[in-house]
Every structure is written in structure tokens, then in C-alpha cells.
Amino acid sequence: MDTTSFAERDGFIWFNGELVDWRDANVHVLTHGLHYASSVFEGERVYDGEIFKLTEHSERLIKSANILGFDLGLTVDEINQACLDTMHANNIVDGYLRPVAWRGSEMMGVSAQQNKINFAVAAWVWPSYFDPEARMKGIRLQISDWRRPSPDTIPTQSKAAGLYMICTLSKHKAESDGFDDAVMLDYRGRIAEATGANIFFTKDGVLHTPTPDCFLDGITRRTVIDLAKARGIEVVERIIMPEEMADFEECFLTGTAAEVTPVGAINDYKFTPGTICQTLIEDYENCVRRKVPA
């Protein structure tokens, strides 16, 4: 993996309508998105030169922006094309794309009615989100002290930058304590998700996953649910309380970055990656590589 600072890489970034040199894609220090989190983004994977579920990601980006009260001024097709142009300009065959939109620096303060809406897309080669060796035996998670907030306190159905502050705090704490990531409960004490991925459990051949009423219903999450149903695996979306983890057999995370990642432990709760995990890992790989319909 390239360890060069992300500010000092070679390549091109789509920036407000054109491809510019990577190092020239800069914003002012008084950008509203930096100070007040008026920014939305997407994370997308490239497999064999194709962006997986590109249109769904572009649609969600527009929805997130609208929830935060700004209009990108772009159609889904225009966002798609910007992503494709960025991918091709950087010769990405297998990698990651980051479309991002934010309010600019025309006004400084909480109010930003006249601020320009900026849009950029970056792309780079990116391997597995978790260490491959740890991933195969199941990663270790810690239950975070931070909780997913209520939908009436923050726009939980947007993929907005501000929602990830507590994710960074949770993941840093977990890593400092020797874990790979963290599981977050919601404001009611129910299991919600990991810091950047949705979560699934199995029991007696049935797949259980939390109802996404205060966190994103991930695109990878929906893909894996469809793959499981195609296999005849029953999927139950419901309230899941932390103490139920004592009775679950398998656990895994899903997300654009995480893909399908088995979990071996959450605090003192133990899981054994088994048939369902392995099946869905293989089915997801076949799906993103276009060996089976998406």
C-alpha cells in the first residue's frame, strides 16, 4: 500500500468540473465544510476497472446533500461520469473512489446561504481495509462508549462528514486498546453498527441484522442481504440487544471498504467464522467481479 501522504500523491482529482493535478486540489482554511461539517461524501470500490453500484452511490450523494440543505447542481449521470473520468485518469483497475461535496468559503459563520457548493472526486489503489491475516480468522471489536444519536438530533440518514467524528474517536480508542475496530450501540442501547460498516449475526442458520433506523442502510448491506436471500438464507432485520451476542454463532461486517469481514470477538463475546460467513464472502466477491448478477 502507498504510504505517501494523501496530499502528496501523483495523479488527478476531479475538482469542480475538471481534472486537476492531485496536488492542486486544495481548499481554503476558512472553508465552511471544515469548520461546520457541511460536507457529504461517498466511498466506492473499483473492481476490474468497473465501479461497483456507481449509480446507487451517486443517488445517495445527492440525497445526502439535499438532507443537509444544499443542491449539488449535478445530475446522477454527471456524477457518474466524473467518477468514471477520475478512475480512468488515474488508471485505477482495483481501488477506491471518494466523491465529496462541501460548502465553500464565501461566508464564514454558522449561516452559509451564499456559499458555493464544491464537488470533487479522488481515486487511488487501496487493498483490504483490515489486515488480511486478521480478517481471515475474524477481527476483534470493542464496544464503544460513544453511541449513534437519535434521528431527531442529527441527520442520520445522510452520509455526512459530521456523523463520523464519534466513529474516529471510537476506532482510535479500540486500536489503542488492541482491537481492530469498535461496535457502536445506538441512543437506546441497541446494537447499531461498526465505525464504518454494518453488522450481521447468525444463529441456527438465520441471519440477523439491526434495523437501520438511526444509521445508514448501507449499499453493501443491501447487496449482502440480497445474496443471502438468493441462497435461501432467512434474513431478519430487527432490534438486537448487546446481551443477545452470547447466543450468536457467527458475526461479520459489511461495507464498501470492509466488504464482508468476519468477526471473531466483540469484547468478551466470541464468534466462529463459519459456513455462512464463507459463503457470503465468496458470493460477494463473485458479485463485485461480475461473475454473478449484482
Burial of 10 (0-12, 13-18, 19+ CB in 10 A): exposed
How far apart are the C-alpha atoms of 90 and 142, rounded to whole Å?
A: 37
- Fold type of domain 12-124: D-amino Acid Aminotransferase; Chain A, domain 1 (3.30.470)
Q: What would the pLDDT profile of 135-146 be if each residue is shown by its tens digit? A: 668 999 999 999
Q: What would the pLDDT profile of 14-30 be if each residue is shown by its tens digit? A: 999 999 999 999 999 99
CATH 3.30.470.10 in the chain, residues? 12-124
pLDDT of residue 126: 84
- pTM comes to 0.94
The answer to whether 196 and 174 are in contact (CB under 8 A) is no
Question: What are the φ/ψ torsions at residue 241 (nearest 5 degrees)?
Answer: -95, 150
Whether 159 is catalytic is: yes
* Annotated active-site residue in 53, 63, 116, 159: 159
Q: Which residues of 83-94 are buried (b: 16+ CB within 10 A; e: fewer)?
A: bbbbbeebebee
CATH 3.20.10.10 in the chain, residues? 132-288
> To the nearest whole number, what is the mean pLDDT of the chain?
95
Give first-to-last CA distance, the chain, whole Å: 28
From the options 3.90.1300.10, 3.20.10.10, 3.30.360.10, 3.40.50.300, give the CATH code of 132-288: 3.20.10.10
How does DSSP classify residue 25? -
